Structure 1
Amino acid sequence: MPKTLWKYSLLILVVFLGGCWDRVEIEERGFVVGAAVDFPKEGDEGNEMEEDAANKPHGKHRYLLTLQLVVPGSMSQGAKTGGGAGSGGDAYYNISSVGDTMFQTDRQLANRVSRSPFFPHMKILIISEEVARSGHLPDIMDFFLRDSEMRRGVKVMISKGEAREVLGVKPVNEKLPAMYIDSVTENERSSSATLPDPLRIGDLNEKLLTRESFIIPRIKSAGKEVKIGGVAVFEGEENKMVEWLGGEEVMGLAILKGTLKGGAININVGDNLVSYETKGDIKRKIKADISDKENMKFIFTIESEGIITESMETIDYLNDPAKWVLVQNRVADEMKRMAEKTIRKLQKEMKLDVIGLSTYLAQNYPELWKSVGKDWDHGENYFSKATLHVKARVIVRNPGTVNQTEPLQED
């Protein structure tokens, strides 16, 4: 073999052999499935040595980071469900540390576990209400967004109470609390419309960059379960949590945004209840009068089609079409009532637009938006000065059967 060719062959071989120099074996990974961020309480301590902590720089706040890591050997069929660190056979353990930054806290945790934290399989990030109200959400998210291992599909939630308590729930039918929480957030697609859509890290990053007001779903620990419902409303200028929206207000928000799916709406007919369920997406149209920017007018027109899923009132729809119209009108009135309740809360109390009117104006009236955008829901707050009306139209496609064993009643 020529000497030159031999040198090139050796060089190529060295390049290929060095391709896995920084590989970490899977057995050495600490798989993180959930994380929680709180402010530390009295008794929560960091992991730095006392002599190192004396003169080092400190941030405005110290954070308590809790990670939920998988115990691979306990994920077998016979492993116990529930539990936590220190209980033999559990499929996970939670570990916490205090630090001035997320990165510092993460590295301190790495010094205490046998496997370095590995984030690509993380499902849930929970931030406490206290932290959310402090305005430090962007600081916290900076660490998770910069981490090259972090996937943009991680779901973000705000906890009512301490975030680490949520990761400490002990579900009956799941080995990992974080996976249980992840599954519960997906149930909203086929259950109650009062459950908000999940918010993922990638979407939150966009909201933080646009500086528009936004919402994040609420979660609360309840023993062996979690309760998900309502949303935290954030002011986009300072990215600080302002207030909660409750279940009915979240449904009203979904109606206004045209995102309501599978929502069950109860109405009174006679002395009993009738339950209506939307089928498919509702249709939302907005008509605007922007002739006076100090008093802009918006009309939301909502159209919904659905079915009667349950009726405690005996109604003969076939022989009395007027009853059919009555039910449709009452469902429409109920949708309008919930939407208007949400408008009052957002426009008069919070004075924040999470309905999407800012996006509507920016897309359809860009010249106007240039003059009012900086003062839309802060400063001059044109949003709070605007007049919002709601119109609703409902079509019942399938009223269901009639219970002939009960006498028909007049409304």
Structure 2
Amino acid sequence: MAKRKLIGCVALLLLCFLVAGCWDRRELQDRNFVLAVAIDMADDGLKLGIDPKEALKVREEETFVQPDGRKRYRLSLQLLKFSSGEAGKDEAKTYAISNTGESFFEMVRDMLGQSSKSLWFEHLQVIIISEAVLRQTGLAEIVDFFKRDSEMRSRIKVYVTPGTARSLIEYQPPSKEAGGMFLADLIRLHSRNNHIAGARTDLGYTVQYLDLRSNVLLPRIEIADKVVKLGGSAVFKKDKFIGYVDGYAIAGLKFMYGTEESAIVATECPDHPGHQMAFELFRDDTKLIPHVEGDTIYFTVDINMYGNLGEIQGDISQDDTLDPQYIHRLEIAFAEEIKQNVLYADRVFRKEMQVDTISRFAGKLKAYEPETWAKVQDQWDEIYPMIPIIISVNVTIQKVGSHK
């Protein structure tokens, strides 16, 4: 019996030698790490800012023989550039390669003809899609390859640009960090910036909303004269792009849904016309509730905000920020500004675009009034723009800063 145990232990030890180690190990320098993806129309490959003949030559070199379909898209990849410690401080950390075709998978594989190493997507940070592409096809078709490939991660950021997407992945940040990392990090503090639609806009949530046939919001990104800026949002009805909304509409939407964590609200000071004051939000309690009375459906939005008096402009030498009556006048002014902001967002999304953003109102009605939802769900797109919404806002200034 003891002999059998000894033989078994030796066999297990020998087996460990056979399976030990990383059988698929590859050194970092043997991979090309893809940090960003840009998707444009194929014709955008001619807009390179160089001689048209040279641009056409570049485009021809990028492409491949495609027996079926037509060359629709230009896919560009931003690759991380490994450099020695002796490289100059101003040297670019990344470079871009492109290909034209219709199947994204086929384009990626053909790009191996431009790369001396395998393309590695597990560190992909951001996907940027041009408006021109989205006006030609649906969002679901564009992200299909990225949702199926096992190397893709759910937290990849997805942006929409009205310009050329490749120009954004060619951008060299003044911070000298890798471009894909910089572009992805732009949205990290979206909860503190009212004007950016950043919550639940990464690849995982985008695919989830598309699978549920919900509407989608994606951050809008632009570049102008070496300045990159996130602001506003691209709006999709199901997977069809229908337009953009500005940052003020996004701010109102965040107030309505209670998705902001730390926001700044600026408005005119009631005691100093022509001068601004600012309120810094610390905490909020927002309730969006559906109500059904007979055949009538309506929603109430109750917003309670608590925060700090962050700034007052104008001659305030005679003002006493410790006076409760003075503070109350400011609270009323801030509450009115927030209410007008919410009404603006409601008009833009519900009246003009007729879009229930990320199906929030439909979800609330389904949760609170399932029987009513069962009756109206097939006509929701027609009913939703006509439903009354009652908005109430209360602001409480708890602090006035470190100086009264």
Considering the TM-score relative to the shorter chain, is it more than 0.5? Answer: yes
Contact 1:169 1:225 in 2 (8 A): no
Matched, 1:334 2:329: no
- For 2:72 and 2:17, the matched residues in 1 are separated by 44
Which residue, out of 359, 362, 365, partners 1:361? 365
1:290 aligned counterpart, secondary structure: strand
Matched, 1:375 2:379: yes
- For 2:247 and 2:163, the matched residues in 1 are separated by 18
- For 1:233 and 1:93, the matched residues in 2 are separated by 31
Partner of 1:241: 241
Partner of 1:311: 312
- For 1:202 and 1:16, the matched residues in 2 are separated by 38
Which residue, out of 103, 120, 123, partners 1:121? 123
Contact 1:230 1:245 in 2 (8 A): yes
Instruction: Note closer, same or farther for the CA distance 1:275–1:390 as it changes in structure 2 (3 Å cut).
Output: same
- For 1:31 and 1:402, the matched residues in 2 are separated by 50
Contact 1:72 1:91 in 2 (8 A): yes
Partner of 2:104: 102
- For 1:136 and 1:219, the matched residues in 2 are separated by 19
Contact 1:124 1:156 in 2 (8 A): yes
Instruction: Note closer, same or farther for the CA distance 1:401–1:16 as it changes in structure 2 (3 Å cut).
Output: closer
- For 1:399 and 1:115, the matched residues in 2 are separated by 58
- For 1:310 and 1:181, the matched residues in 2 are separated by 31
- For 2:344 and 2:134, the matched residues in 1 are separated by 25
Q: 1:3-402 to 2 correspondence within 5 Å? A: 16=18, 22-41=24-43, 42=46, 43=56, 44-45=59-60, 47=62, 49=64, 52-53=65-66, 56-58=67-69, 62-73=72-83, 76=85, 78-81=87-90, 89-190=91-192, 192-197=193-198, 199-236=201-238, 239-269=239-269, 270-271=272-273, 272-280=275-283, 282-291=284-293, 293=295, 295-313=296-314, 314=316, 316-317=319-320, 320-354=323-357, 356-377=360-381, 381-400=382-401
- For 1:158 and 1:15, the matched residues in 2 are separated by 51
Contact 2:288 2:299 in 1 (8 A): yes
The structural deviation recorded for 1:200 is: 1.2
2:114 aligned counterpart, secondary structure: coil
The structural deviation recorded for 1:287 is: 3.3
- For 2:63 and 2:246, the matched residues in 1 are separated by 41
**Can you list the C-alpha shifts for 1:186-234, whole angstroms capped at 9, x where unaligned?**
23344x3212215211111101111111200110113333110001110
1:221 aligned counterpart, secondary structure: strand
Q: What is the alpha-carbon root mean square deviation over aligned residues?
A: 2.8
1:73 aligned counterpart, secondary structure: coil
1:205 aligned counterpart, secondary structure: helix
Letter of the 1:240 partner, please give it: K
The structural deviation recorded for 1:146 is: 1.0
1:185 aligned counterpart, secondary structure: coil
Contact 1:97 1:109 in 2 (8 A): yes
**Can you list the C-alpha shifts for 1:324-372, whole angstroms capped at 9, x where unaligned?**
1110011000000000001111111111111611111121122222222
1:384 aligned counterpart, secondary structure: helix
Contact 1:134 1:240 in 2 (8 A): no
Letter of the 2:357 partner, please give it: V
More divergent stretch after superposition (283-292 vs 125-134): 283-292
- For 2:242 and 2:24, the matched residues in 1 are separated by 45
Letter of the 2:196 partner, please give it: L
- For 1:188 and 1:63, the matched residues in 2 are separated by 30
Letter of the 2:363 partner, please give it: T
- For 1:277 and 1:48, the matched residues in 2 are separated by 52
The structural deviation recorded for 1:91 is: 1.9
Letter of the 2:197 partner, please give it: P
1:98 aligned counterpart, secondary structure: strand
Letter of the 1:327 partner, please give it: L
- Residue identity over aligned pairs, in percent, reads 28
5+ residue gaps in structure 1? 82-88, 404-411
1:347 aligned counterpart, secondary structure: helix
Contact 2:217 2:233 in 1 (8 A): yes
The structural deviation recorded for 1:19 is: 7.9
- For 1:332 and 1:14, the matched residues in 2 are separated by 68
The structural deviation recorded for 1:15 is: 9.9
Partner of 2:50: none
- For 2:256 and 2:312, the matched residues in 1 are separated by 26
Letter of the 1:57 partner, please give it: D
- For 2:294 and 2:351, the matched residues in 1 are separated by 20
Contact 1:47 1:108 in 2 (8 A): no
Alignment size in residue pairs: 378
More divergent stretch after superposition (350-359 vs 95-104): 350-359
Contact 2:221 2:229 in 1 (8 A): yes
5+ residue gaps in structure 2? 47-55
Instruction: Note closer, same or farther for the CA distance 1:322–1:58 as it changes in structure 2 (3 Å cut).
Output: same
- For 1:327 and 1:18, the matched residues in 2 are separated by 69
Partner of 1:85: none
